[in-house]
Structure 1
Amino acid sequence: MIRHRRFAAVLCLVAALGASGCFLQPGGPSGAAERTPAPERPNIVFVLTDDLSWNLVAHMPEVLRMERDGLTFRNFIVADSLCCTSRATIFTGRYPHNTGVRTNFPPDGGFQVFKEEGNEQESFAPHLEKAGYRTALLGKYMNGYHPNDTQGGTAPYVPPGWTEWYVAGNGYGEYDYNLNENGRLVRYGRRPQDYLTDVLANKGVEFIKRAAGSSQPFFVEISTFAPHGPFVPAPRHAGLSGGLKAPRPPSFNEADVRDKPSWLRSRPRLGPPAIRRIDEGYRDRVRMVQSVDEMVGRIRTTLKELGRDRDTYVVFGSDNGFHMGEHRLAGGKMTPYDSDVRVPFLVVGPGVPAGRQVGRPAQNTDLAPTFLDLAGLRPPPATDGRSLVPFLRGAAPPDWRQSVLIEHVKPPPSAEDPDRQDSAPGAPTTYNALRTDELLYVEYANGEREYYDRARDPQEMNNIVGTLPEQRRRHLSDLLYALTHCSGATCATAGRSR
């Protein structure tokens, strides 16, 4: 474990600094022309993608339309760039060190650990259902969940809080999968109409049409496996983007990594065959997200045709990012770098200012309290995140966080794990990281450190930790310690310092 100084002293430091009034200014234009009053009990449609990085959004016209019509969080940072840990945080509003879900599979994570730690009861769904919402989850749940598992019952297991449930286990290949459909196992094969993203889109639209005819508000999460590997596009999109190449930011195939930690310093530069595979993978990812983009368009069109766009929020985002060539990394996630931790999150709906961009740091800890707040509910005291609703209404809370936590436990290699490509030797070891608009500071379990001046070096290429004055390094380490040990309200206190 990463060692730090005494927690009590740090909390005093954090509280004092948090009260100093040193806050980030709101990002983006002030925003808002005409705004619709927010409904008292709105509907919520949440489209959550898997491994969708910012560099794919330019190829998604419906998502770009959401950007024009609504609010974009430009600095939405996931607390851990790994599927299961991120989803556990999304459901509960808690950092991974509080959910107990640190990897994709036991003993440190996965569905079974999520369930055994009591996170299903603490997720937002039971609270919404108890408050009168009709809830539905479609697609992916948690790594290690099997749709035919009864969990000791007589029918395939449906977690508490979900009125309707259409969930797969291993749906990464988009074909040949089972869905647990409200406790009944249904098999899908290899016909074109079995393409999983399209099946989820159809079921999502059907749910919205059924629910829209009721006075009962609804929440639906459509959680795609796209664009996670093995990057299988729908047949109608297989021939698109023939000459496209992966983006080549300055960090692509980074020339000099002598300043990087040992796990990355040992990586050779990418050769032509590896770069060719990256370009092929990126093209397939672009093709794969076309069906996701079409689903977003269908949802918004359906809501408009039903007259429910005026009382429904549509939220679009990703569980984590994905690197493809940055810093010599061929393909994957789990690092503390921008490509992996900063993800798209956009919102359209009643009262949301059109074309506004928020630069203040948001996290996946904030989604559960946001959904509950929109429903008029108070988040549980153990929630680490804060509601984003003030931003949706054109305001910027003056006491909003300045720092966010990124934490990661290196998982062991697993033949079961579709994310195992970055679990092999040479992947990042366990680390904790502190990020603001201005900096990225990382502490690894082996004692190595990184520090990047993001204002001057947004590509995070020059590790200048050796130039930090000792007092500054101690200060950052203390703040990081406070965040890695925070819970509930103390997370907000710690996050206000930098």
Structure 2
Amino acid sequence: MTRHRRLRLRPAGAPVLILLTLVLALAAGCSGGGDARPGAAKAAPAKRPNIVFVLTDDLSWNLVAHMPQVRDMQARGLTFDGFFVADSLCCTSRSTILTGRYPHNTGVRTNFPPDGGYQVFKAHGGEQASFGEGLRKAGYRTAFLGKYLNGYQPGDAQGGPSPYVPPGWDEWYVTGNGYPEYDYNMNENGRLVRYGHAPQDYLTDVLSGKADDFVRRAGATGRPFFMEVATFAPHGPFVPAPRHAAALPGVRAPRPPAFNEPDVGDKPSWLRSHPRLRKPGLKAIDNGFRDRARMVQAVDEMIARLRRTLAERGLDRDTYLVFGSDNGFHMGEHRLAGGKMTAFDTDIRVPYVVVGPGVAAGRRTGALVQNTDLAPTFLDLAGAAVPPATDGRSLVPFLRGADPADWRNVALVEHVKPRPTPEDPDRQDSAPGAPPTYNALRLRDALYVEYQNGEREYYDLVRDPHQLTNQGGRLPPDRQRQLSALLYALTHCSGAGCASAGRTR
């Protein structure tokens, strides 16, 4: 029998508290009825804000078209068009998000030991360095829901009397293998709960209910709160909620110019080995993309539910809602059937959208920002100290409408090819034909890649935005030496040195 704990939602909260919140917000100019025109600035928050962070798994930019709530967030907030991950792989990206450090400083280079995974993150002090600890010490009530790090086992007590809850988190609702969306165990504040295969056990919906419950309870206390909801959607095996199983019948994978690329003769050797996709492969790609689009419907509904609750409680005026992804995902581009880990924009460029107090409606920025910047942003919003070892920078100036003149003009991407591991659901990317170990620079107008085997890629993104023509073998020697030196500096940087290195060309 499935053990399924029903959520107990508390009453709507004290009317006096809500009225006081409204009065404070109006006095500070934070009313939700402000100017919603693109570029219209709002006033800064009157107190330490709440933060809700929705992190999806493998969600690529081409799925946002199927998420009306996220598109509405874009209309009412700030979109980071130039957001890049430091490695397009789940555990490495999430470790960077939690600490604000590049993979070469977290020690997490792949999803599983010996080069990465949860145990490596923990052994390198990642849990103590995470922003959760900083926020909690600053007086925030914190909650983490959903997917933590690859290799985490929700029932592992780690020497204690009950399942382990990492430091920094007041509330913890986390599972390990939630990819099928059913039949999983969840660590609920140190208590292991089993979920089965009933419709109500669909993981994204369970997380939605628990997230809504936390917001209601935490919001009623008047104490600032932070909540991360990390879905497994839309990661494979691409299982949509039952109510969405037949949705979007006509949707198929987009066909940008790079789709099933006709000529890969100029590409590095790992990619030149890929034949053109045929009808069975193209059909599988379309079916997979359709199910991914179906999966994100439940995520979009969760966002809608959270936004309604925040508005009903008067909390939206003091709450930042951040939506994003741990990495992108290719489906057919450059002849690649489905996956991530490459240095192409399909994999490293991801959606990030923020709404909240002080954020202008309809604003977009093309500044090069990275997942290293999330931890310092959350700490900065909370008025907490940002550790000196943090490689990223706070994005708060962008939320206030500024474009810092000293911002980085290059993003670092570093990737270690995973070793084949039976436990890894992404182990197909360790097989022959996947990209070897590489480091890359993503500039505003170019992409430069150095592979461990000595091969190089260079794409002029002004003339070739879809990264079709590799000019790595035709770079002027001076330019190549300059890029290689910059890449070396960034892959060996730490703390403030990363910001300095990222401002050079």
In structure 1, C-alpha distance between the alignment counterparts of 2:372 and 2:40, rounded to whole Å? 29
Question: Residue 200 of structure 1: which of 204, 207, 225 is its match?
Answer: 207
Cα offset for 1:444?
0.2
1:260 matched residue in structure 2 = 267
DSSP 3-state at the match of 1:414: coil
In structure 2, C-alpha distance between the alignment counterparts of 1:342 and 1:469, rounded to whole Å? 27
Residues 93 and 367 in structure 1, CA contact (< 8 A), matched pair in contact too: yes
1:17 matched residue in structure 2 = none
In structure 2, C-alpha distance between the alignment counterparts of 1:460 and 1:65, rounded to whole Å? 30
Question: How much identity, in percent, do the aligned residues show?
Answer: 72
Residues 40 and 376 in structure 1, CA contact (< 8 A), matched pair in contact too: no
Question: Residue 73 of structure 1: which of 80, 85, 103 is its match?
Answer: 80
Structure 1 segments, 4+ long, off by >3 Å, are: none
Residues 31 and 394 in structure 1, CA contact (< 8 A), matched pair in contact too: no
Deviation digits for residues 349-384 of structure 1, max 9, x if unmatched?
001000000100100000000000000122100000
In structure 1, C-alpha distance between the alignment counterparts of 2:102 and 2:120, rounded to whole Å? 15
1:41 matched residue in structure 2 = 48
2:61 matched residue in structure 1 = 54
1:337 matched residue in structure 2 = 344
Cα offset for 1:415?
1.6
In structure 2, C-alpha distance between the alignment counterparts of 1:34 and 1:374, rounded to whole Å? 17
After TM superposition, the score normalised by the length of structure 1 is 0.93
Cα offset for 1:437?
1.1
Deviation digits for residues 112-140 of structure 1, max 9, x if unmatched?
00000001000000110011100000000
1:101 matched residue in structure 2 = 108
After TM superposition, the score normalised by the length of structure 2 is 0.92
DSSP 3-state at the match of 2:490: helix
In structure 2, C-alpha distance between the alignment counterparts of 1:260 and 1:183, rounded to whole Å? 49
Cα offset for 1:329?
0.3
In structure 2, C-alpha distance between the alignment counterparts of 1:186 and 1:449, rounded to whole Å? 49
2:463 matched residue in structure 1 = 456
In structure 2, C-alpha distance between the alignment counterparts of 1:317 and 1:224, rounded to whole Å? 11
- My pick for the range that moved more, 135-144 or 464-473, is 464-473
In structure 2, C-alpha distance between the alignment counterparts of 1:437 and 1:312, rounded to whole Å? 31
- My pick for the range that moved more, 35-44 or 247-256, is 35-44
Q: How does 1:6-405 map to 2 (within 5 A)?
A: 32-405=39-412
Deviation digits for residues 424-477 of structure 1, max 9, x if unmatched?
111000000001110000000000000000111111110011221101100000
What amino acid sits opposite 1:426 in the alignment?
A: G
What amino acid sits opposite 2:459 in the alignment?
A: Y
Residues 44 and 400 in structure 2, CA contact (< 8 A), matched pair in contact too: no
In structure 1, C-alpha distance between the alignment counterparts of 2:206 and 2:38, rounded to whole Å? 36
1:486 matched residue in structure 2 = 493
In structure 2, C-alpha distance between the alignment counterparts of 1:34 and 1:390, rounded to whole Å? 13
What amino acid sits opposite 1:48 in the alignment?
A: L
Cα offset for 1:36?
2.5
In structure 1, C-alpha distance between the alignment counterparts of 2:429 and 2:466, rounded to whole Å? 21
Residues 231 and 288 in structure 1, CA contact (< 8 A), matched pair in contact too: yes
What amino acid sits opposite 1:450 in the alignment?
A: E
Cα RMSD (Å): 0.8
Residues 52 and 227 in structure 2, CA contact (< 8 A), matched pair in contact too: yes
In structure 2, C-alpha distance between the alignment counterparts of 1:37 and 1:162, rounded to whole Å? 27
In structure 2, C-alpha distance between the alignment counterparts of 1:367 and 1:185, rounded to whole Å? 30
DSSP 3-state at the match of 1:66: helix
Structure 1: which 5+ residue stretches go unaligned?
1-29
DSSP 3-state at the match of 1:57: helix
Cα offset for 1:31?
5.1
In structure 2, C-alpha distance between the alignment counterparts of 1:456 and 1:462, rounded to whole Å? 10
- My pick for the range that moved more, 252-261 or 411-420, is 411-420
2:420 matches 1:409: no
In structure 1, C-alpha distance between the alignment counterparts of 2:148 and 2:46, rounded to whole Å? 29
